């Protein structure tokens, strides 16, 4: 595997995309009750069993056994406009009106009270995920192609009511991750078809992490919450192949699959929230969410019996997300929600990528909860997400420079069913 092969392998391999709706490839969507207020107050609001994901110390606020099942439909609107090239390819050939497909993000949670002190709960949900798709003959194929990652977090937690003011919780998480990365040759002077695969990497792995939560009740109408989730190390073990000939000067694999892997660290997450009841009908919530993206500085890939074939400086920085929202009890059966959030991007402006056309973004959210009966309710939510326009130049290891202007927006629609067993 010579330098040509290494260069082609390193032409943008990574598991990130613009479909993720929080920083980088992070997902905010774990429930619909929070979606309606832009996820403000998630560490201090005890809406339903989904507290398992954002602060299980709130489980003591739920009576009996609670079940919540949700699905969120994510519709991205991410487009690219070519602005420049250095290889004679027209900049307009880089234009792409949609690089991120729509997706459904499901989740399910259950909590139960053991006694007046202890509660336990569990859930299945996703905190990281993405997908981008380019045509196989896209001219900048070495930095485009197909990228997909799916993560499933299975968590168990227990909470303890210390006294009337304090409650604490501890949880364990198992994260399963599956990834696929395909890159094509694109425009070239090697007399090789542009749709030729130069990278085909598929793999999966699982890892473990932990989380802790704390709730402090000032009184019945005012509450603060804190939640911390640890890093999780993932090494995608799978196969690597390409369609390049196994002869000089390519020294490719000619479709033969070789064992390989890519290691990443899913970042730590911390959230501080407050909730305050202003009137009998209205409550205000707010959150600051920190994500430790500085754990992701360099991406490297290895192939067995070959060694490191790719190392790329990503230089991510820690990011913050600020949100504020409100609930209004319109009637005994109907609660209305609204929220606003500002989400920082961790991406370094000198390392922007069309695989990560990431940007700062704002959320405008609305939602409602309707009590169907004494034991059942449904949540509806919608968030409109607007990202800033970004301009950047991305280089591939074949020497081409591709200039882009990217726009990234999205809409999220959610439905959730809650039931007291």
Terminal alpha carbon distance of the chain? 59
Cis status, amide bond into 249, omega within 30 of 0 = yes
> Pairing relation of β-strands 334-343 and 319-329?
antiparallel
Looking at the whole model, is its pTM more than 0.75? Answer: yes
Average pLDDT, stretch 63-92? 91
The three state secondary structure string of 7-34 is HHHCCCCCCCCCCCCCCCCECCCCCCCC
- What is the pLDDT, as a whole number, of residue 5? 34
Element of type H or E holding 67: strand 65-85
The lowest-confidence range among 124-133, 191-200, 239-248, 277-286 is 239-248
Please say if the pLDDT value at position 404 is more than 60. yes
Confidence at 243, pLDDT banded by 50, 70, 90 = confident
- What is the pLDDT, as a whole number, of residue 224? 98
> Pairing relation of β-strands 298-303 and 307-313?
antiparallel
Give the DSSP letter string of 45-65: ---STTHHHH-GGGGGGS-SE
Nearest 10 degrees: CA dihedral of 417, 418, 420, 421? Answer: 40
Instruction: Express each pLDDT in 344-393 by its tens digit.
Output: 888 777 777 777 667 888 999 999 999 999 999 999 999 999 988 888 88
- Round the average pLDDT of the chain to a whole number and report it: 86
Range with the largest mean pLDDT of 264-268, 303-307, 395-399: 264-268
Tell whether the torsion through CA atoms of 138, 140, 144 and 145 is positive or negative: positive
- What is the pLDDT, as a whole number, of residue 307? 63
Average pLDDT, stretch 117-135? 90
The three state secondary structure string of 310-340 is EEEECCCCCEEEEEEEEEEECCCCEEEEEEE
Please say if the pLDDT value at position 49 is more than 60. yes
With a pLDDT cut of 70, the percent of the chain lying above it is 89
How many CB atoms neighbour CB 67 within 10 A? 17
User: Rounded to whole angstroms, what are the CA distances from 190 to 181, 182, 187?
Assistant: 23, 20, 9
Instruction: Express each pLDDT in 280-321 by its tens digit.
Output: 999 999 999 999 988 776 666 677 776 665 556 667 788 999
Kindly calculate the radius of gyration of the chain based on its CA atoms and give it in whole angstroms.
Answer: 23
- What is the pLDDT, as a whole number, of residue 15? 34
Instruction: Express each pLDDT in 209-230 by its tens digit.
Output: 999 999 999 999 999 999 999 9
Q: Which residue has the higher pLDDT, 336 or 254?
A: 336
Confidence at 187, pLDDT banded by 50, 70, 90 = confident
Q: Which residue has the higher pLDDT, 339 or 96?
A: 339
With a pLDDT cut of 90, the percent of the chain lying above it is 50
- Give the span between the Cα atoms of 333 and 347, in whole angstroms: 43
- Give the span between the Cα atoms of 355 and 143, in whole angstroms: 7
Cβ pair 242, 253 in contact under 8 A: yes
Confidence at 7, pLDDT banded by 50, 70, 90 = very low
Please say if the pLDDT value at position 3 is more than 70. no
Please say if the pLDDT value at position 405 is more than 50. yes
Please say if the pLDDT value at position 11 is more than 50. no
What's the half-sphere exposure (Cβ side, CA atoms, 13 Å) at 418? Answer: 26
User: Rounded to whole angstroms, what are the CA distances from 167 to 52, 164, 216, 284?
Assistant: 14, 8, 7, 21
Burial class (CB in 10 A: 0-12, 13-18, 19+), 413: middle
Instruction: Express each pLDDT in 229-239 by its tens digit.
Output: 999 998 888 88
Please say if the pLDDT value at position 83 is more than 80. yes
Cβ pair 285, 38 in contact under 8 A: no
Q: Which fold has domain 3-420?
A: Porin (2.40.160)
148: which strand partners?
131, 180
- Give the span between the Cα atoms of 94 and 194, in whole angstroms: 14
- What is the pLDDT, as a whole number, of residue 150? 85
Please say if the pLDDT value at position 117 is more than 60. yes
Phi-psi region of 164 (alpha: psi -120 to 50; beta: other; left: phi over 0): alpha
- What is the pLDDT, as a whole number, of residue 414? 96
Q: Can you tell me whether residue 54 is helix, strand or coil?
A: helix
- Give the span between the Cα atoms of 183 and 311, in whole angstroms: 16
The lowest-confidence range among 42-46, 102-106, 332-336 is 102-106
- What is the pLDDT, as a whole number, of residue 254? 80
Please say if the pLDDT value at position 8 is more than 70. no
| Domain ranges (residues) in the chain | 3-420
The DSSP call for residue 215 is: E
Give the total residue count for the chain.
421
- What is the pLDDT, as a whole number, of residue 10? 36
Cβ pair 129, 106 in contact under 8 A: no
Average pLDDT, stretch 128-157? 87
- Give the span between the Cα atoms of 175 and 226, in whole angstroms: 22
Burial class (CB in 10 A: 0-12, 13-18, 19+), 373: exposed
The lowest-confidence range among 45-49, 155-159, 265-269, 398-402 is 398-402
CA 30 to chain CA mean position, Å? 10
């Amino acid at each position: 595997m010579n330098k040509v092969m290494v260069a082609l392998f390193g032409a943008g391999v990574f598991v990130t995309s613009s479909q993720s709706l929080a920083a980088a490839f992070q997902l905010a969507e774990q429930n619909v009750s929070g979606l309606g207020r832009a996820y403000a107050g998630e560490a201090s609001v005890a809406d339903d069993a989904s507290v398992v994901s954002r602060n299980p110390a709130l489980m003591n606020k739920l009576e009996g056994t609670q079940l919540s099942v949700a699905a969120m439909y994510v519709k991205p609107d991410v487009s690219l406009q070519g602005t420049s090239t250095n290889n004679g390819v027209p900049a307009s050939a880089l234009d792409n009106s949609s690089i991120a497909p729509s997706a459904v993000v499901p989740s399910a949670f259950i909590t139960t009270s053991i006694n007046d002190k202890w509660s336990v709960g569990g859930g299945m949900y996703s905190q990281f995920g993405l997908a981008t798709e380019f045509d196989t003959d896209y001219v900048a194929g070495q930095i485009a192609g197909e990228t997909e990652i799916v993560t499933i977090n299975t968590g168990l937690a227990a909470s303890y009511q210390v006294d009337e003011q304090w409650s604490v919780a501890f949880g364990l998480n198992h994260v399963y991750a599956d990834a696929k990365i395909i890159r094509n040759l694109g425009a070239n002077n090697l007399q090789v078809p542009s749709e030729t695969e130069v990278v085909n990497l598929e793999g999966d792995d699982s890892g473990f992490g932990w989380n802790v939560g704390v709730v402090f009740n000032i009184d019945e109408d005012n509450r603060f919450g804190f939640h911390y989730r640890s890093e999780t190390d993932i090494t995608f073990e799978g196969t690597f192949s390409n369609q390049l000939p196994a002869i000089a000067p390519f020294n490719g694999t000619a479709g033969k699959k070789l064992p390989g892997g890519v290691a990443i660290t899913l970042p730590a997450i911390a959230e501080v929230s407050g909730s305050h009841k202003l009137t009998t009908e209205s409550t205000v919530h707010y959150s600051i969410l920190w994500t430790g993206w500085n754990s992701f500085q360099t991406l490297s890939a290895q192939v067995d019996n070959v060694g490191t074939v790719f190392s790329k400086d990503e230089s991510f920085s820690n990011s913050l997300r600020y949100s504020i929202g409100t609930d209004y009890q319109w009637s005994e059966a109907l609660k209305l929600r609204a929220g606003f959030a500002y989400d920082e991007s961790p991406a370094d402006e000198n390392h922007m990528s069309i695989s990560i056309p990431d940007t700062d973004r704002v959320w405008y959210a609305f939602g409602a909860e309707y009590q169907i009966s004494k034991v059942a309710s449904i949540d509806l939510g919608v968030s409109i997400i607007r990202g800033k326009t970004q301009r950047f130049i991305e280089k591939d290891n074949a020497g081409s420079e591709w200039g882009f202007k990217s726009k990234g927006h999205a809409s999220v629609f959610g439905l959730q069913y809650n039931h007291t067993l």
